[in-house]
Amino acid sequence: MEEKEKRKNNDPNETERPTEKKKDKEKAGKENDRSGKKPFNYMEKIPPSRSSFWNNLATALLIFLGLLLIYSLFIETREELEEISLSRLANDISAGEVEGIIVRGNEVEIFYVDETERETRVENGVGITDTLVNYGLTPEELRAVDIEYRRQEGFSYWMMTLGPFILPLFLILIILWFLLRQAKGAGMQAFTFGQSKARMISPHDKSQRVTFEDVAGAKEAKEELLEIVDFLKNPKKFINIGAQIPKGILLMGAPGTGKTLLARAVAGEARVSFFSISGSEFVEMFVGVGASRTRDLFKMAKQASPAIIFIDEIDAIGRVRGTGVGGGNDEREQTLNQILVEMDGFEPNEKIIIMAATNRPDVLDPALLRPGRFDRRVTIDLPDRKDREAILKVQARKKPLAEDVDFRVISERTPGFSGADLYSLVNEAAILAARENRKTVTQFDMVRSIEKVLLGPERKSHVLSEHEKAITAYHEAGHAITASILPYADPVHKISIISRGRAAGYTLKLPTEDRRLHSKKEFLDDIAVSLGGYLTEKMIFDDLTTGASNDLQVAAALARNMVTRYGMSEKIGPIAMEGSDSSMAHQEGGHYPVGSRYSQETLSLIDKEVTGIISEQRERVEKIITEHRKALDAVANKLMEVETLERDAYETVLRDYGIDPEKKRDHRLSMKDEGTDGKGDIKKE
């Protein structure tokens, strides 16, 4: 029992399941046996912490004082004796006052009959007896004194002899060490430029371990990555059948979809070392540093095998070579070449997986994407409604929630949100609750945080005048009425004339379901809704303001994309004038202008088509505003009164004037069979 308790106290992982603990120990033992050396210690690759200037100065002073103390102990081993002349020594011997003499080299220690001690010195190479005889002493007088000769030796002698020479040299070495340490701490890392700056997460660090349970959604991506986990856990199963696991996995997806989190989850599931580095950390101002850091990173990973190397934002160094873009192009290309070589240098059964993440796969060099390198590509899409609900539950694990929190409702109101957006949403809701001194997060906090993430915080200090308030109310009412009448526009969830971010007011429209494809009819209705506020201002106040500038930009961009990218123009036809995946255009900082590739006649036709689309939607909106003027006035007046209208209150106002949003939604479903004309209007019999 005592041995069992002793083992339990010494085992920091006793809380783990016995099977997992046993597997970890067996795994560590196999790695030690295979390598014949101690397990790789990743702490050796981490540079030591930089001490402050005063700590280093205090250390140097303490060392210096310690040396002085040691030196003083050897040179101050006896009391300071009175030094007399040789003539006085001769007189004292003649008077019978001297009992004995001890001679050490040219130093003479004298012992008197009255038990006092004095000292004197003789010239080098001259005996004490000869010197005293020269001072007039007889041999009989000298024989009455006990004269003893002793050799100078021992540590004390050598310390006293060589100390004046060794101590200054040692002091100089301490000062040099101190200066070099300070220079390194100040950033002059002349000897560490080529070392990798990768951060490592140990498989035994439970505080930073991430598993697939921590990653909600992305079901298809996790299924793809399970093969990698299985290989890292059981490589023999693949090697025996002759299969080779992909050496490189490229994670592609929009920003905030969880690419880095998935890479960490793979390492956490497989219980292997995880090296993380950003693509920009390879390149330095000195030539060759990127390639050197690449070699050092792969060397570290091989020593810690099995391991995962994760390069975030690989497009920083993996862009197409030979374009001549950027001043450090040669250095970036050298780094990319070294990465390509290292990936080819892997042994067939070497348990190292390199993962990379980017949201710009179109700009990557083809050599990176060929089979044998990043030949497994995992696309991570924006989460759908069910995935958003699961992500919200994961993000809210450690937050106290009120009973009224319904993640299903929140997920329905957040289409297009990424995982990072949902994290920010939950965090903002917690901040709102803490600001109001509440200990739980409510549904109201969640709803408010959606608008804060989308549009920014409320600008309560931005007070509108009565005239501006009326213009804003009619502007937002124009958007809302147009969206409620048009069959393919998204339903209105909220209208507000409270300023948020850069907007004086806003109309929150959310789709009823997640869409991967957008139709021409939906684009036309979106353009019409964007023009709703602009045309309402013009028709009601016979004037225009700058508040519609963003709406006009959205409408013009949608119309131009319909013509130049999506082939939705009858006169232009199915021709893509502009592409969204042109790598050369992206490297130059944007798309090439259409005019650089097409004739003036084609450009003129594009402009006419864009203008025609906007003009047609303008006529539709003017007709809607004219026919539903009473509903428009009612919504605008209600907004000026309460400033914010939620969906239920808004639809109540519409029903009072004969507009039923439910009938519109049902009618839209029936239109799939009946068909519509090209403008989005229902075909008439």
Write the DSSP string, 613-641.
Answer: HHHHHHHHHHHHHHHTHHHHHHHHHHHHH
CA 684 to chain centre: 58
Instruction: With 0.85 as the threshold, say if the pTM is over it.
Output: no
Distance CA 472, CA 545 (A): 10
Same-domain status, 267 and 340: yes
Phi, psi of 477 (to 5 degrees): -65, -35
Q: What is the CATH number of the domain that holds 406?
A: 1.10.8.60
Query: On the CB side of 521, how many CA atoms lie within 13 Å of its CA?
Result: 15
Which residues are known to be catalytic?
A: 476
Pairing of strands 307-312, 273-278: parallel
- Greatest alpha-carbon pair distance for the chain in Å reads 156
Measured CA distances, 316 to 95, 224, 240, 361 (Å): 99, 25, 38, 11
Helices marked H in 81-218:
86-94, 128-134, 139-143, 155-185
Residue 589 lies in a domain: no
**Residue written as tokens 């100089």?**
172
User: For residue 163, which of 68, 228, 258 has the smallest C-alpha distance?
Assistant: 68
Q: What is the CATH number of the domain that holds 126?
A: 3.30.720.210
User: What kind and span of H or E run contains 83?
Assistant: strand 82-83
User: For residue 443, which of 467, 409, 469, 420 has the smallest C-alpha distance?
Assistant: 409
Same-domain status, 231 and 294: yes
Interval 609-634: pLDDT, tens: 999 999 999 999 999 999 999 999 99
Q: Which domain holds residue 118?
A: 84-152
Residue 586 lies in a domain: no
Same-domain status, 106 and 216: no
User: For residue 132, which of 99, 85, 74, 195 has the smallest C-alpha distance?
Assistant: 85
Q: What is the CATH number of the domain that holds 232?
A: 3.40.50.300
Same-domain status, 226 and 358: yes
Distance CA 75, CA 77 (A): 6
User: Which residues have CB under 8 Å from 263's CB, separation 6+?
Assistant: 251, 274, 276, 308, 310, 355, 357
Distance CA 571, CA 576 (A): 13
Same-domain status, 543 and 637: yes
* Domain tally, the chain: 6
**Predicted pLDDT at 434:** 92
User: Which residues have CB under 8 Å from 62's CB, separation 6+?
Assistant: none
Interval 370-394: pLDDT, tens: 887 887 888 888 888 888 898 999 8
Q: Which two tokens stand for residue 364?
A: 């990557």
**Predicted pLDDT at 8:** 42
Same-domain status, 494 and 517: yes
Distance CA 650, CA 479 (A): 13
Same-domain status, 136 and 206: no
Distance CA 381, CA 459 (A): 34
Q: Which segments in the chain show pLDDT lower than 50?
A: 1-51, 76, 186-191, 325-328, 581-595, 671-685
User: What kind and span of H or E run contains 684?
Assistant: none
Residue 145 lies in a domain: yes
**Predicted pLDDT at 447:** 87
